[in-house]
Structures are given as C-alpha cells and as structure tokens.
Structure 1
Amino acid sequence: MSREIHAKCFPRSHCTRGGGRRQKQRCEGEAKSSVSVPRGTCMTMCPAYELRQRELQNRLHRFEVLTGTEHDRLPRADVSCTVKEYSRPAAGKDSTRATDLRPPDILLKTVYYLVDDIAASSTLHPWTEVYSFVFDRLRSVRQDMIIQRISGPECVAVLERTVRFLLFASYRLCGQPLRLFDSCINDTHLQECLSWLLECYREGQHQHQEEFQALSLLYNLGSAQAVQHVLELPGSVRLSPPVRLALAIGRAYVERNPVRLLRLARRLDFLQGCALHRHLLPCRRDLLLLYSHGHSSRNCRFPIQKLADILSLESSLTAQLCRAHGIHVGGEWVIFSKGSFTESLSEELQCAQMHRLLEDKQQDLTVSDIIHGVA
C-alpha cells in the first residue's frame, strides 16, 4: 500500500512524536471556533430548495420519482424517497446554510433508509445502480457531518455502516466493468472512512471497536502502520478474538505462508472475508508458486482435490487456476514444475469466479444484516 494511503488511514499522531499535542491543539482550536459552526435545521432527507431545483432541472434519480409521474416531461419527486445528493464545493456557493444541512438524527435516519430501503431492496436492480445511488448519498451525509463537525455516537454509527457498505460492495461488485464500478474510488473512500472511524474510537469506548480494528487490519494486510496502530490499543481491544485472528492472518501474509493464511481465513465471518478477499487471488498465486518449487518433480503427482481443499476452491476452478499459471493438470492430478510456472493470469479468470470461501460464509445473511452488523 502506498505511503499516501497509509497516511490517510492511520493518523500521523499514531506514529510520530508530538502527535498528541497537535491533536489537543486542533481540538482546542475547534472548541474556540464552535460558535461559528453551522447547525442544520433540515428535517427531511433532502432540503426543499434542492428538491425543487432538481425537479425543475429533471435531475431526479429514478429511485426518487413519485409513482405515476415517471413518464411526465418533468417527473415529480417523492418527498419520502428523495435524498440530498453530493455536490462539490464551488466558489461563491454557500454550503453552510442551516436549511440545507441535516442534523445528526436526520442523517442517521437517512443512512437507515439508504441501507434498508435501497441497498437491501429485493426489487431495485441492477445492484451496480443501487451501489452508485447509495454511494453518492452516503457521501452527501458525510459532507453534512464535516460541515457541522458532528462527532459522537451518531457519527460513529454512520461511519460504521458506510465502511460495511463499501466493504460489501468491494466483494459483490468485484470484476464489474470500470464504467459500472471503480474499485480504486471505492478503496479511496473506504480508507478515508476507516481513518475517520478509527479517530472517533480514540475519543471513547464503542461497542463495535474490536470488529472494525480487525477489519482495518484485514483490509490493509501487510501494512506496518496498521499493525503498529493496533499494538498501541488497550489490551481489551488488542487481545480480543477478532483482532488476534486478524493479526495472525497478517503475520502469515508477511511470512508468505499462504497455506496458514487460507486455513485461518476459514475462521473469519462474512464481512471479515470481504475485507480479506482482495488479497485471496495473490495469496493463491503465491501458494501455487511455492508448490511449484517444493513439489517440482517429474514423478510427483499431487491430488487436485487436496489442492482444491487447501485453496478453498472447487476442483474445476482449481484446475483453471493451475492452467492459467502454466501448471499441468492431468485428470485427478496436478504436476508441478518450477520451470513452467508463469505469474500472469488470463483475463477470463476473474477473482469473482473464486468466491466460494465467502459464499459459504454469507449463507442466509441479508444485505441489511451485513451493513447493520447483525450476525
């Protein structure tokens, strides 16, 4: 992971001297200027002014249109379904008007609506469009929180659900075309939300802190800053089962022990698997490279079913993965040769084909359960 991403995800005060003093000074400065911080008075998910403007400009999303007006020249907005969209700050534009800002309780209500009525809907399709809508509206929620400098339980609740949503999307939309899902943009926002959330946890005890400290470790596997951050946490968090398991997986990753990593990964819950899943394909490649050297022999035959169990894949996908790396597969056996191994993968072999490890964990969990953290 790049230094820039590390800096975003793990505050400077965690790894440099004087960070605590700077944090204290920043908090004192914010306290002095608190009189000028705007406080929202908008009691709906979308300010009335924006709603009227978007109706006149025909900029309503189809999820927001009032039933029966879809085919009108200017469809009308369903007030109960219209959500404030994200807008970039612009010169001369006042983004601090109280009537355009939603207070914390309305922001949390908006997030619940986006999760339960949009993201978890069984009737809204395709999910790429659902993701795009929810992603934008959650970004707008965070924008309102930043302008009002909202902190405390409501802020944590919003960020926790946002992180879970972005993690789930990174798994569910893996392999989608760039025009439908940009994994780099999703990653950038996920790292920013994680950074903000971990900073909030420093201000007090929160119910789900252990869960998200572990998710941060798993998502940023191999990051020395992530490990250092966790090692500085109180023992009650650092020694909790989720964090200890994440640390063990991180140690296996750093030691390049893919067999142990994949074995430990079976103990993760679904969302933890989503955080880890972007590392699974490189991990499986490392395992095949290791076996290509360790079992390289003209007379050696390795059972493909045993290899499939180690990789947590079906036999057919294991055979595809082996062939993609130049490994010979003959019937029920794999023949490893260090001379024939190739690093590159064919384009048709996508990570999305290899989700058995996570599919087994998801079982009957609904999208709402996943994002609200109901396991």
Structure 2
Amino acid sequence: MGGLDLAEESDDADPSTLAVGTCPGMCPASEFDRRKCQRRLHRLELGPSPSCQPDASLAVKEYSRPAAGKPPPRPEELRPPPVLLDTVRHLLSLDDGAKGDEAERCAFVTDRLRAVRLDLTLQRLTSRPCAIPILERALVFLLHAGSRLHAQPDSRFDAHLHREQVQESFAALRRAYRQGQAKDQGVAAASEPRFQALFLLYNLGSPAALGQVLHLPKGSRTSPDIVLALAIHWAFLERNFARFFRLASALPYLPSCALQPHLVAARRQALATFSHGFSARNCRYPLARLARMLALGGAEEAAQLCRAHGLTVVDDSVAFQKGSLKDSVAPEHPWPSCPFVEGKRGQEALLDLAERLCS
C-alpha cells in the first residue's frame, strides 16, 4: 500500500538538548496574540454569537512547518503531554452536535492534530508511552473524518494528505507500543490489539502491514480484534468476497471507518469475479441479493453500481458477461456505502467513543 510508513524514529538524543514544554494552554499566549492581531483566529476559536469575540480558552495552536535556520521553539511554546491530551479531547468534542461546514471543521481539527504531533516530535516524545493516549484519540478522529468526507471533492477534502497523516499517526503509535512493551516486560497496553487491528484494516492487502501484525506477540495477535481483522484480510486476498463482506459488515463503527477506503476496490474486484463465475447466456443475478452481499444500500444502488461498471441490468437482475466490466469508473461514482458505516455509531458522541476505546 502506498504511503505505509515503516520508518523507525530514534529517541536517543541527549536529554539535556531537548526542549521540555511548559505551555499551560492549548495555544501559546504569543501565538494567540499574534493571530488575534492578524485576524487569523478560526471561527471555532471565537466565543459564542452574537459577539464572537476571540477566546484564548478556545484557541488551539496551529501547525507551522519547521523551517531550516529557524530557532527552536521556546519551552513556553511547547505543550507537555497532559496539555496535549486535553487538547485532543477538546478537538474531539468539536464534532459532537456541531453545526456548520463539516469539511471546514475537519480541516481545522486535522491541522491542529498535526500541531499536536509536531509538539510531541520536538520534545522527542512521539515514540514514548506517554504519547499513546494522545495518538490513539487523534486516530479516532482521523479515521472518523476520513470515512465521513471521502466522497467530497479534492477542493474540500485532500484524501492524499489525510491518508499520510493517518499513516504517520499509526507509525508513531505502533512505535510507542513497542517502547511501552520494552519498559513493561512485554506487557501490551490494553488498547493495543484494537488499534493494531485498525492498522491492518486501514492497510488492507498490504504485505508489509500483514507481516508486521503477524509478528506481534501472541497475546496481541490472538485477541478477538486482530483475529477478525486477519480473517477479513485473508478473505480479501483470497478473493472470497462473500466472506469478506459478511465479516466486514459485522465490524463496529471505527473498524468500519478504517476499512471503508477499500470498499470501492473490493466491490469492483467482486464484480469482476462474478462476471467470470456467473457468465452465461440466460444467467441473471438478483440485484437485491447482490446489494446484501456487497453491503450496499439496496437494489437501486446495486443497479447503479453495475451500470457504472458497464454491466447490463435487466429488470431487478444483472447479467454478468465476461469482458463487459469497465477497467475504471468515473470519479463521480464514489459509492459512499452508507449502510456499511452509518448507523453503527448510534448516538454516541465521538469524544465518548474515543474515551471508551483508548488508553
């Protein structure tokens, strides 16, 4: 899978040369004052209407790429781990009952999560056990947002950049798990199997991801979350799409979000398999049954999917023919597959979901 970050990160720097954050709030006072003067505060950093005044308690440090030759940040510009954890919790809470543009809100939260990871990196904490609860909660939001916005145009949601951030967060989190096990005599964090399973589902079909999960300690590898993720992975590799979608449909909300980016490819491969297996002059396959098998929203959505792939729909059935399947589908047919993800979350707030799943 492209973008799978397998690089290691060294934390062996001289402790005397590392910055230790002392910023007590989500945004350093100097940055808040500067952005306030520049009128660059986001609407989510303003107080309630009608006044909408700048509110230092709502401001969150924005991401700023480190530049060559730029002096290192001062301690008061870096947030220590407890403040970073509170920051991520605040960002998660913005999704609950929020009104307005969801893509805009996602862009704001994603930018601020990049700044959180940068603060960890500048303090050489990214691979430390103290980063685990921070990175886990960041991934909850990133997976949720990616599923919600995947069908948005590139001008509103940069899927490539989002995927890079997810992969970087997974890589840092998995390094932190290894550091924690080294310090705790091989005892894994209680939440580790759950997030290792999310990592495998997000990287469905990746030999590198599969190899890494198979090399996990037995206690993690045999957990129910990873056993199910492995079963889904093998079903996909074996092109057993009936089993793949049956297992995938039973996933809870967050694992469904992690798997969602692969559904378009899985459905196309399933149609290609069926085009060979059910290709006959008078053979018709019921659209309602196909919709259930591919976790679609009903027979009409199945018909649209088949037509988009060049297959012939006759009444309430599809006629599979070898060679009739299109090699690609136009971008305007993303097939968001609401039944696969939507409804699984229920009424649970995103912050509550994160607190239930994370360390």
Match of 2:300 in 1: 316
SS of 1:351 mapped into structure 2? coil
Equivalent pairs: percent with the same residue? 42
Task: Indicate how the Cα distance of structure 1 residues 109 and 291 shifts in structure 2: closer, same or farther if over 3 A, else same.
Answer: same
Q: Cα offset for 1:306?
A: 1.4
The verdict on how the C-alpha distance between 1:373 and 1:185 changes in structure 2, with shifts beyond 3 A counting, is farther
Kindly indicate whether residue 221 of structure 2 is the aligned counterpart of residue 245 of structure 1.
no
The answer on 1:307 being equivalent to 2:290 is yes
2:42 is aligned with what amino acid?
H
Deviation at 1:39, TM superposition (A): 1.1
Letter in 1 for 2:257: C
For the 8 Å contact 2:264–2:334, the answer to whether it is kept is: no
User: 1:349 matched to which residue of 2?
Assistant: 333
1:112-165: per-residue Cα shift (whole Å, max 9, x none)? 11111x222x23311111111111111111111111122544311110011111
Deviations 1:222-242 (A, max 9, x none): 111111111211111001111
Q: Which residue of 1 aligns with 2:153?
A: 177
Structure 1 residues 7-59: Cα deviation after superposition (integer angstroms, max 9, x where no partner): x2x346xxxxxxxxxx8xx55x42xx101211112111111111111111111
Partners of 1:232 and 1:62 in 2: CA distance:
46
What is the deviation of 1:91?
Answer: 4.1
Matches within 5 A, 1:210-359: 210-313=193-296, 314-352=298-336, 354-359=337-342
1:77 alignment partner, SS class: coil
Q: What RMSD, in angstroms, separates the aligned Cα atoms of the two structures?
A: 2.0
The 5 A counterparts of 1:27-176 are 27=11, 29-30=12-13, 33-67=14-48, 77-116=54-93, 118-120=94-96, 122-150=97-125, 152-176=128-152
Q: Aligned partners of 1:95 and 1:139: how far apart in 2? A: 17
Q: CA separation in 1, counterparts of 2:101 and 2:354?
A: 18
C-alpha distance in structure 2 between counterparts of 1:130 and 1:193, whole Å? 20
- AA aligned to 2:215 is E
Query: Which digits, 9 at most, give the CA deviation of each residue in 1:238-288, with x for residues without a partner?
Result: 011111111111111212222221111122111111111111111111111
Q: Distance in 1 between matches of 2:197 and 2:316?
A: 38
Q: TM-score, normalised by structure 1?
A: 0.87
- Runs of 5+ unmatched residues, structure 1: 13-22
Distance in 2 between residues matched to 1:249 and 1:222, nearest whole Å: 10
SS of 2:193 mapped into structure 1: helix
Secondary structure of residue in 1 paired with 2:39: coil
Structure 1 runs of 4+ aligned residues shifted over 6 Å read none
Deviations 1:311-354 (A, max 9, x none): 111111001111111221122222221132223224432232x2
**How many residues are paired up?**
349
Which SS does the other structure have where 2:344 is aligned? helix
- Farther off after superposition, 331-340 or 139-148: 331-340
Contact 1:292 1:338 in 2 (8 A): yes
SS class of match (2:328): coil
Distance (Å, rounded) in 1 between the aligned partners of 2:72 and 2:40: 19
1:174·1:351 contact (CA, 8 Å) conserved in 2? no
Question: Structure 2-normalised TM-score?
Answer: 0.91
What is the alpha-carbon distance in structure 2 between the residues aligned to residue 237 and residue 159 of structure 1?
A: 19
Question: Structure 1 stretch 87-96 or stretch 326-335: which is displaced more?
Answer: 87-96
* 1:271–1:370 Cα contact (<8 Å) kept: no
Q: For 1:237 and 1:290, locate their aligned partners in 2 and report how far apart those are by CA, in whole Å.
A: 34
Distance 1:207 1:152, change over 3 A: farther
User: Alignment partner of 1:45: what SS?
Assistant: coil
1:207 pairs with 163, 186, 190, which one? 190
2:174 is equivalent to residue 198 of structure 1: yes
